[in-house]
């Protein structure tokens, strides 16, 4: 716990944003603990996540990285046995506050899942799902959203003539970009990505990675990955999770070149995990 | 021996040698295949025998007259009209009641309720209710609807009793259908800020609808053949009028058929057989609709 706290403050001091203005944080995580029944999955997590950057979360299987990213939009609440303590502040609002609406949080914070999960509907219907649940009915507006979202997810040129076709006809990589487009259609502030490329082939993976680089101009992105090269390629900051704790959190180049913690070094160099 | 074998190379003959017990395994496989085929064949044979018997008996009385006439003391004039219309009335009232109650309960249990002692109590009760004899439901209907709520021996009392009877089947079938909707689709919806109801309405129900409808229609198919609970609540056995509204008295096809088969005259047994053909045709139609719906809306995930 102390180690992670130290690293955290250190990260703030050393940190020099690569954008012109100083980075505000979108998320502040304070002493977060999470249990599945009796098993503690997250222990005293303390993190600050800067805006308009890519923050990667790495760590071996079962270290709590997927659980952590799902607490950021309170999706862990779908599992009845989950208990949490501590606080998560999204833009200085306590997301666990009784008065804070979870639907609002999830509108501002989009999520892309490990396996592409388009709805069994047409490509068009998939994209307009979000806007429709938020009350947009104007066909013209919806058409524009579909085009801009698909362009934003670098899928427009591939599917613009097939918008009425079922989304299941797309390849795995296209389906995942469709899921990203579906998120963008809600105009979120943050994008959570839970191992978005682990079910994809290398070429599709490359496309998603390029897309992430593109998206960070407008969105703050938090990406869970078990692919360390990927974290190195695309992220600005990296948090290394182990057994439910944050071992080290720093700028990605620092983590990959001279990590402070021996365990981080061992993991990065492939000695375990 | 082992060491020696490791040193020598394996000959082609050894590679091709079949395992010692292969013939025994094949033989066992054949025996079990035979048993299962016989089991399937037996029930099919019984069904064919039943249908053949009913058709040879009833075909002579099966004409338009049968459906357009009321019951009569004279076998050649006897028709099933009142019972036929009564069955349709009963089904038309039972279907929406049991659909709304059953699917509503299933949605509550699967999508809203916390898993606690209260919901597990409901769940256990529903499973147990499915095993309660239909006569008991008839008694319940008689005390509650016919007497306590003073509905009399009416269609609405019969339909409510019938709904109670098939409710457990509908709840369990709908729960299965709702549960089989992949979690990742629900997660996708919730992650975009959808409320519980929006997710249920736009994701869960469309995906679960084929299963829900199939369960509902099969439950109705059971209700259409039920006699005992309706006799308990006092459905009539002989009427020469058609039900006019929800409070009308009524009879249904199984009761009419039972009435005919219990008469001494041989001819009435033949009329009963003809009535059974009509009932079977109706059942077959409903089951076909169930299959059609399942195939039409079937979605892969």
CATH number, domain with residue B121: 1.10.3720.10
B143 and B282 housed in the same domain: yes
B15 and B98 housed in the same domain: no
Model confidence pLDDT, tens digit, residues A189-236: 999 999 998 888 888 889 889 989 988 888 999 999 988 889 999 999
Chain A residues 50-79 with CB within 8 Å of chain B: 73, 75, 78
Mean pLDDT, range B111-119, rounded to an integer: 85
ipTM here? 0.84
B51 and B187 housed in the same domain: no
Between B147 and A31, name the one with better pLDDT: A31
Q: Does A196 touch chain B (CB under 8 A)?
A: no
B22 and B95 housed in the same domain: no
Tally of CB atoms within 10 A around B37: 10
The pLDDT, as a whole number, for residue B291 is 83
Chain B residues lying within 8 Å of A82, measured CB to CB: none
- Whole-model pTM? 0.79
Percent of chain B with pLDDT over 70: 95
Model confidence pLDDT, tens digit, residues B13-30: 888 888 888 889 999 999
The pLDDT, as a whole number, for residue A5 is 42
B118 and B35 housed in the same domain: no
Query: A129–B114: do the CB atoms touch at under 8 Å?
Result: no
Domain boundary among B44, B61, B78: B61
Between B235 and B177, name the one with better pLDDT: B177
B295 and B194 housed in the same domain: yes
Q: Which structural domain, as residue segments, surrounds residue B50? A: 2-61
B122 and B205 housed in the same domain: yes
**Mean pLDDT over each residue of chain A, to the nearest integer:** 87
The pLDDT, as a whole number, for residue A23 is 60
Tally of CB atoms within 10 A around B108: 13
**Among A117, A122, A178, A179, the residue to mutate for chain B (most B Cβ within 10 A):** A117
- Provide the domain count of chain B: 2
CB A169 within 8 A of CB A161: no
B114 and B10 housed in the same domain: no
Report the interhelical angle of A202-215 vs A172-184 (nearest 10°): 20
B82 and B51 housed in the same domain: no
B96 and B116 housed in the same domain: yes
> Strand A109-112 relative to strand A190-194: parallel, antiparallel, unpaired?
parallel
Domain boundary among B42, B61, B80: B61
In the predicted structure, residue A75 carries a pLDDT above the cut 60: yes
B173 and B100 housed in the same domain: yes
> Could you give the CA distance from residue A104 to residue B193 in angstroms, rounded to a whole number?
6
Mean pLDDT, range B186-208, rounded to an integer: 92
Kindly report the nearest CA distance between residue B210 and chain A, in angstroms: 14
In the predicted structure, residue B232 carries a pLDDT above the cut 60: yes
Name residue A192's beta-bridge partners.
A111, A222
Mean pLDDT, range A41-70, rounded to an integer: 91
Model confidence pLDDT, tens digit, residues B140-181: 888 888 888 888 778 888 889 999 999 999 999 999 999 999
Model confidence pLDDT, tens digit, residues B51-78: 898 888 888 777 777 777 777 777 777 7
**Among B114, B188, B198, the residue to mutate for chain A (most A Cβ within 10 A):** B188
Q: Does A115 touch chain B (CB under 8 A)?
A: yes
Domain boundary among B45, B61, B77: B61
B123 and B213 housed in the same domain: yes
In the predicted structure, residue A178 carries a pLDDT above the cut 90: yes
In the predicted structure, residue A12 carries a pLDDT above the cut 50: no
């Amino acid at each position: 716990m102390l180690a992670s706290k130290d690293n955290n403050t250190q990260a703030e001091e050393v940190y020099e944003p690569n954008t012109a203005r100083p980075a505000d944080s979108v998320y502040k995580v304070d002493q977060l603990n999470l249990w599945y029944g009796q098993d503690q999955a997250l222990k005293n997590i303390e993190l600050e996540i800067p805006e308009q950057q890519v923050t990667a979360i790495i760590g071996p299987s079962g270290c709590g990285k997927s659980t952590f990213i799902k607490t950021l939009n309170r999706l862990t609440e779908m599992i009845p046995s989950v208990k949490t303590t501590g606080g998560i502040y999204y833009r200085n609002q306590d997301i666990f506050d009784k008065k804070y609406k979870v639907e609002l949080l999830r509108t501002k914070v989009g999520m892309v899942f490990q396996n592409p999960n388009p709805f069994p509907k047409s490509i068009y219907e998939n994209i307009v799902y979000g806007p429709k649940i938020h009350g947009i009915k104007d066909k013209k507006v919806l058409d524009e959203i579909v085009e801009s979202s698909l362009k934003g997810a670098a899928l427009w040129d591939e599917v613009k003539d097939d918008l009425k076709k079922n989304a299941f006809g797309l390849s795995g990589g296209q389906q995942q970009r469709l899921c990203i487009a579906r998120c963008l259609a809600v105009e979120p502030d943050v994008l959570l990505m839970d191992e978005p490329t682990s079910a994809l082939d290398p070429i599709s993976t490359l496309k998603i990675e390029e897309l992430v680089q593109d998206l960070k101009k407008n969105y703050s992105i938090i990406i869970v990955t078990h692919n360390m090269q990927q974290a190195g390629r695309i992220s600005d900051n990296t948090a290394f999770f182990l057994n439910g704790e944050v071992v080290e959190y720093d700028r990605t180049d620092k983590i990959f070149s001279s990590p402070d913690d021996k365990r981080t070094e061992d993991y990065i160099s492939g000695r375990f995990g | 021996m082992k060491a020696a074998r490791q040193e020598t190379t394996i000959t082609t003959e050894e590679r091709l040698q079949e395992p010692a017990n292969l013939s025994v395994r094949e033989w066992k496989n054949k025996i079990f295949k035979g048993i299962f085929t016989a089991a399937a064949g037996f029930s099919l044979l019984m069904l064919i025998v039943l249908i053949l018997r009913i058709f040879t008996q009833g075909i002579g009385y099966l004409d338009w007259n049968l459906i357009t006439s009321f019951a009569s003391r004279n076998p050649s004039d006897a028709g099933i009209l009142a019972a036929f219309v009564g069955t349709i009335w009963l089904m038309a009232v039972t279907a929406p009641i049991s659909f709304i109650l059953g699917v509503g309960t299933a949605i509550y249990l699967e999508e809203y309720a916390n898993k606690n002692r209260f919901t597990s109590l409901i769940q256990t009760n529903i499973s147990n209710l499915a095993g309660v004899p239909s006569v008991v439901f008839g008694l319940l209907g008689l005390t509650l609807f016919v007497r306590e709520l003073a509905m009399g021996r009416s269609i609405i009392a019969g339909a409510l009793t019938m709904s109670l009877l098939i409710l457990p089947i509908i709840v369990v079938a709908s729960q299965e259908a709702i549960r089989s909707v992949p979690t990742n689709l629900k997660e996708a919806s919730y992650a975009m800020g959808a409320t519980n109801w929006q997710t249920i309405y736009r994701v869960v129900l469309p995906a679960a609808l084929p299963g829900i409808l199939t369960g509902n229609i099969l439950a109705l198919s059971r209700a259409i053949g039920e006699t005992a609970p309706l006799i308990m609540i006092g459905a009539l056995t002989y009427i020469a009028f058609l039900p006019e509204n929800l409070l009308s008295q009524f009879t249904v096809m199984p009761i009419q058929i039972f009435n005919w088969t219990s008469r001494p005259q041989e001819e009435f047994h033949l009329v009963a057989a003809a009535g059974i053909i009509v009932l079977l045709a109706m059942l077959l139609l409903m089951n076909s609709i169930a299959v059609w719906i399942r195939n039409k809306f079937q979605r892969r995930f």
